[in-house]
Chains A and B, each alone.
Chain A
Amino acid sequence: QTVVTQEPSFSVSPGGTVTLTCGLSSGSVSTSYYPSWYQQTPGQAPRTLIYNTNTRSSGVPDRFSGSILGNKAALTITGAQADDESDYYCVLYMGSGISVFGGGTKLTVL
């Protein structure tokens, strides 16, 4: 069974830069997995940030960027702000209609 891995937690200072990653328990993440990223605050529905590896969703500030770093997908936040404190989820497409979410990263800005 394919497991999508994310750091359980991360912290960043206000104004700092942080890179969250999204990997596979077996194998490397490539653009063929169409990695996408979502932000969620408690009690709210997810918000789409990045899709197709590096395309920002409408209205998402350009301090959010997506890429492939080594064998993982990555979400980089440049100039972190207090309201970036959220849970972040990646999704990988496994083919045949199947999407798999990572376990999520809880980002703290302090």
Chain B
Amino acid sequence: EVQLVESGGDLVQPGGSLRLSCAVSRFTVSSNYMSWVRQAPGKGLEWVSVIYSGGNTYYADSVKGRFTISRDNSKNTLYLQMNSLRVEDTAVYYCARNWGVISGWYFDLWGRGTLVTVSS
């Protein structure tokens, strides 16, 4: 069964850092585009970042310069390093497989999410 399992969510103080992980089974992270999407409590979905199979990375303006997406091919795992966290970064963070424009640009597989709470 294809699985994406996020972990690493926690309570952190404003200005702190956290690294989220997304362990993937049944397909290869490095051969796919992978995205992070977040959802603040009671709010809508917000795209955060994508890493292409070739390694290019892109970010939403709201996290640019603070968050870094990466992957470990040997562990088949996607990461999101989050620095200078703000209260408004509080959300459930989902990882998702992201197909490119040749396939129609969309997210087809989703994890269950991990909760990040930024509060003093």
Contacts and interface: CB of A to CB of B under 8 A. Distances in A.
A99 B110 contact: no
B111 interface: yes
Contacts of B94: 45-46
Nearest to B33: A97
Interface residues of A, number: 27
A45 B108 CA distance: 11
Interface in A47-76: 47-48, 51-53, 55, 57
Given A34-B105, A34-B106, A36-B104, A97 B61 contact: no
B47 A100 contact: yes
Contact of B56 (A38, A48, A51, A97): A97
A25 interface: no
B47 A46 contact: no
A67 to B, nearest CB: 14
Given A1-B61, A97-B50, A104 B44 contact: yes
Contacts of A51: 99, 103-106, 108
Shortest 8 CB-CB contacts between residues of A and residues of B: A52-B104, A97-B58, A51-B106, A34-B105, A36-B106, A99-B47, A93-B105, A104-B44
A101 B45 contact: yes
Given A38-B45, A46-B45, A89-B44, A99 B50 contact: yes
Interface of A: 1, 34, 36, 38, 40, 45-48, 51-53, 55, 57, 87, 89, 91, 93, 96-104
Nearest to A103: B44
Contacts, number: 72
Most chain A CB inside 10 Å of its own CB: which residue of B37, B52, B56, B60:
B37
Interface in B81-97: 94
A45 B47 contact: no
Most chain B CB inside 10 Å of its own CB: which residue of A36, A96, A97:
A97
B104 A101 contact: no
Contacts of A47: 110
Given A36-B105, A45-B112, A57-B108, 13 more contacts: A34-B101, A34-B106, A36-B104, A45-B110, A51-B99, A51-B108, A52-B104, A89-B45, A91-B106, A97-B56, A99-B35, A101-B44, A104-B45
